[in-house]
Amino acid sequence: MRQYTPYDLKKRLFAFAAGITFLFLCLFGRLVYVQLIMGRQLQTKAAEQWARDLPVAAPRGLILDKNGKVLAGNSTVYTVYVRPREVDDKRLLSGELSGILGIDAEELFQKLSKNVSEITVYKKATREQANSIIAVGRKGVYLSMDIERVYPYGELASQLLGYISVDNRGQAGTEKFYDKFLKGIDGKILSESDLTGNRLEGTPQHYIPPINGLNVKLTIDYTIQSIAENAMQQAMLIFKPIAARALVMDPKTGEILAMVNKPGFDLNDIPRDDLDALNKYSRNSLVIDIYEPGSTFKIFTVATNLNEYLKGNKKAFSPNHIFSGGRTRVVDGRIIKCWSNHAGGKHSNQNLSLALNNSCNPIFVDVALSLGKETFYDYVEAFGFGKVTGIDFLGEGTGMIVPQNYAMAGDLARMGFGQSIAVSPLQLAAAASAAVNGGRLMQPYLVSEITTKDGLVAQRFYSTMVGNPISPEASRMVAEMLEGAVSQGSGRNAYIEGFRVGGKTGTAQKFENGRLAVGKNVSSFIGFFPANDPQYLALVIIDEPVGQSYGSVVAAPFAKQIFEQIIYYKDLKPVS
């Protein structure tokens, strides 16, 4: 048997003492960690166990038009809660709440009879119902104030404004894009309770007030929006299209003054149970969708040619150049005809201005092919096609352009008169604004400022120039030619006596499954006034009108209607 020396015993005592010390240090370290590091978290958990809270919804910020008219507001409603363990007579209470709220008394009694600490009895109770519940004064019944979103004008600007979810968060449109500003911070009412959830009598309640959301002021003008809405509703009734759209903007600043997509839906009666209908009617096609613009794109072919002519490019045509016969052109073995061939007419001896008046496709084929692929594509990009405009709205479409490396002569020829290219309506409007406003490509925008409920400005937005595709002189010449297209050409249905209106019609065929869809067209008109100093620009698109299809007949009259009512609204005087 081994004999332990005093040295061995000292080693064991030292190891034992070190172990005790280490264990003590671990316990001390854990105590420090729990007290200092986890203290706040544990206090919060403890508070949650001995406290109950009722939420107090933060009022969502208002959405206003540019003049301060409320387009999206709030109303106060109440949620009714019951804590069954605090109720003295569940049968009696069930009958009383049934009479006030119009709910089934027996069903409520069954819920109150379950072993739960709290149930939600009713949401969106009116102020009158809440007052009746308070007057009854039963123990165990609680009310919390909620905010319900209200849209005073129902369907007006429905796709632009968007809507919120049942938990007060933005789901579409401006409500979603600016949700972080609009939503605010919810408050709560705290009260102490025992282990079973019963409120402790005599303990104070603590109120944490909500913080209001910020108000968002749009560039939209309610009156101009209403004018455009009424015009598009008439278009739906007269031509029975699948959709009618209108966009009105300030061509100098990029401010959107009106944005209409018909059909729409009442924002106070959202079809949440029918997702297909909700997705269809809440889609802001003016921003999101793309289409072949047809003859409205000739504006940019003319602008490109004039700007290159002024720069001295020998491949560009002089405004006085007389083009040969305008009936047909053959490109890559395919015949391109003028629409007048179908109407029994013939265009000849036209300069560029007359070709624009008559919307003669073969002339624009000549211009595009003469300028060449590289130059033409440079201007397509400079005008903002093929990329987003940067508008403050989710899901913006970029358009579709045949890649330059793969574009054949036939593609370039058709792009010259608005085929073989797809654009969003917003892109087209922004680019057209640049063509006539002096050559400045402005970024479209929908919100001018964000403010507190007291009117203090939290953030302000300004117009932004994002490009300069053509010179002021070329822009002036384009505007003059487009004024002639309204006073003497295909856009004469938009002419207004005493006011200088410019514009261009468009009639584009639709494609389905890679083929032309027979009898399906998009009729459009893009116009502006005054032609010498544009203040308003409007794009009208009628999708698949029944009967007539020419943009000059279907779309131009509604642009005229919008302009005439803006003139009346703004009390504008005729030019002398």
Quick: pLDDT tens for 443-466.
Answer: 999 999 999 999 999 999 999 999
pLDDT at 37 over 80: no
Query: Which pLDDT tens digit goes with each residue over 261-278?
Result: 999 999 999 998 898 999
| Backbone φ/ψ region at 547: left (φ over 0), alpha (ψ -120 to 50), beta | left
Query: Which pLDDT tens digit goes with each residue over 471-502?
Result: 999 999 999 999 999 999 999 999 999 999 99
**Catalytic, out of 144, 193, 295, 549:** 295
C-alpha separations of 237 from 242, 243, 262, 265, 547 in Å: 11, 11, 11, 16, 13
How far apart (Å, rounded) are the C-alpha atoms in residues 368 and 346? 21
pLDDT at 48 over 70: no
Every domain of the chain and the residues it spans: 52-87+120-196+206-218, 222-447+466-570
Query: Which pLDDT tens digit goes with each residue over 88-105?
Result: 888 888 888 888 888 988
DSSP structural state of residue 493 = G
The radius of gyration computed from the CA coordinates of the chain, to the nearest angstrom, equals 34
How far apart (Å, rounded) are the C-alpha atoms in residues 206 and 186? 14
pLDDT of residue 34: 62
Laid out side by side, the sheet with 205-208 consists of 51-56, 187-192, 205-208
Give the sign of the dihedral formed by CA 572, CA 574, CA 575, CA 576.
negative
Q: In the 3-class helix/strand/coil scheme, how is 142-177 assigned residue by residue?
A: EEEEEEEEECCCCCCCHHHHCCECCCCCECCHHHHH
Choose the CATH number for 52-87+120-196+206-218 among 3.90.550.10, 2.40.260.10, 3.90.1310.10, 1.10.540.10.
3.90.1310.10
Contact 90, 243 (CB under 8 A): no
- Does residue 475 carry a catalytic annotation? no
How far apart (Å, rounded) are the C-alpha atoms in residues 511 and 521? 9
How far apart (Å, rounded) are the C-alpha atoms in residues 261 and 328? 37
Compute the average pLDDT of residues 381-386. Answer: 97
pLDDT of residue 342: 45
pLDDT at 353 over 60: yes
pLDDT at 26 over 80: no
pLDDT at 216 over 90: yes
SS3 504: strand
Same fold, 52-87+120-196+206-218 and 222-447+466-570: no
pLDDT of residue 27: 76
Q: Which residues are within 8 A (CB) of 393 and not within 5 positions of it... i.e. 6 or more apart?
A: 160, 173, 174, 177, 284, 287, 446
- AA letter at 124: K
Q: How confident is the model at residue 469 (pLDDT cuts 50, 70, 90)?
A: very high
> Of 468, 464, 435, 434, nearest to 447 (Cα)?
464
Fold assignment, 222-447+466-570: Beta-lactamase (3.40.710)
Query: Which pLDDT tens digit goes with each residue over 114-156?
Result: 888 788 888 888 889 889 988 888 888 888 777 889 999 999 9
Query: Which pLDDT tens digit goes with each residue over 422-437?
Result: 999 999 999 999 999 9
Q: Terminus-to-terminus CA distance in the chain, angstroms?
A: 129
This prediction has a pTM of 0.84
Residue whose pair of structure tokens reads 């400079």 in the numeric block: 382
pLDDT of residue 341: 47
